[in-house]
Amino acid sequence: MQPFTYARAVDPADAYTGVPQRTALLAGGTELLNWMRLGIEHPAHLLDISHLSGLKTIDTLDNSAGLRIGALATLNEIAEHPRIVNDYPVLAQACLKAASAQLRNLASIGGNLLQRTRCPYFRSLDALPCNKRTPGSGCAARHGINDKHAIFGWTDDCVAVQPSDPAVALAALDAEVVIASARGIRRVAADNFHTLPADELQRHNVLADDELITAIELHAAAPRSAYLKVRERESYEFALVSAAAAVELDGETIRTARIALGSVALRPWRLKEAERRLQGVSISALDIVRAAIEHEFQSARALPHNASKIVIAQNAALRALQLAAKQANGGMA
């Protein structure tokens, strides 16, 4: 690591007003310290925002039944919050599956959204071709080891995936990311917060250098929602594929459905055409439900080593939808 200075923020505005160049914000630190160790980031200054109490609370939204989750709320605090367990179980489940208990006690929801890809070429200690690390150097994963890489939204310049579990749940909940800067407040839909390679290759998300995530806002409750994570080991591992689903039923008829996939692209991938096709369909009409999901995968493109990921993702989406339909009052399906 290179030498750096350290300061502690006393107000959220400290994080975006008069901040020197090459300043990194320190919250839980579970990702930033890895970036520094691997040489992904070389900050000259660290600004510790972890003590900003105003960004840690979970409160009811004004004039709304929704919730406002402070960006510094930890994953364990979110996973154990009674309102979230009952009204947004998909988010509670995603937070519990995101990391080990020790990391969940430190990792903040805002920091989790800012995770960067787990592509081994991006995170290598050796200098390997990676356009995210070294612009113009190429993408070693494109024709390398890519069994865990993208099936949606990739280009020849980058085939990586976004690893956040909570981000997938937030996408399925139509949540909004609240972002502050000296220019004011803006809100970004959770499923549009991360950027794809075709958007701007060097970016990971829409956050500007002078902006700070202050909160996540959840709106209509989704008690029938669930998160499914497919991984090589259950104890602790990043997803091969994950799926988040939220459904409203009229008896067995699907009134609305929202489905998002994780670890299939550089952002959570909403199955919006499948959602449209599922309206008015019986949740027990397995062939029709499966066909609606599979139709969405016409745009999926396998890499040389991850064709099986398409089948896994289809099955994960179906299973998450079924689990969501069985969910009641925040209890496990």
Distance CA 116, CA 80 (A): 26
Kindly report the CATH class assigned to 226-326. Answer: alpha beta
DSSP 220: S
pLDDT computed for residue 22 by the predictor:
86
Q: What is the dihedral of CA 41, 46, 50, 55, to 10 degrees?
A: -80
pLDDT computed for residue 64 by the predictor:
74
In which residue ranges of the chain is CATH 3.30.390.50 found? 226-326
Q: At what angle do helices 89-96 and 165-172 cross, to 10 degrees?
A: 170
Distance CA 119, CA 89 (A): 29
pLDDT computed for residue 259 by the predictor:
98
User: 135 and 202 in contact (C-beta within 8 Å)?
Assistant: yes
In a 13 Å sphere around the CA of 273, the CA atoms on its Cβ side amount to 10
Q: Which amino acid makes up residue 294?
A: E
| pTM flag (> 0.85) | yes
pLDDT computed for residue 16 by the predictor:
85
In which residue ranges of the chain is CATH 3.30.43 found? 5-48
pLDDT computed for residue 196 by the predictor:
97
| CATH dotted code for 5-48 | 3.30.43
Are β-strands 45-48 and 23-26 bridged in parallel, bridged antiparallel, or unpaired?
A: parallel
pLDDT computed for residue 63 by the predictor:
72
- Summarised one tens digit per residue, pLDDT across range 294-323 is 999 999 999 999 999 999 999 999 999 999
Q: Which residues of 143-159 are buried (b: 16+ CB within 10 A; e: fewer)?
A: ebebebbbbbbbeeebb
Q: Which residues of 300-317 are buried (b: 16+ CB within 10 A; e: fewer)?
A: beebeebeebbebbbbbb
pLDDT computed for residue 41 by the predictor:
87
- Summarised one tens digit per residue, pLDDT across range 212-260 is 999 999 999 999 999 999 998 887 789 999 999 999 999 999 999 999 9
Under-70 pLDDT residues of the chain: 1, 328-333
Kindly report the CATH class assigned to 53-114+163-218. Answer: alpha beta
Q: How many CB atoms lie within 10 A of CB 22?
A: 13
In which residue ranges of the chain is CATH 3.30.465.10 found? 53-114+163-218
pLDDT computed for residue 331 by the predictor:
45
Distance CA 122, CA 128 (A): 8
Tokens in use for 215? 């909160």
Q: At what angle do helices 286-296 and 308-326 cross, to 10 degrees?
A: 130
pLDDT computed for residue 333 by the predictor:
42
The backbone torsions φ and ψ at residue 224, rounded to the nearest 5 degrees and listed phi first, read -95, 80
DSSP 84: H
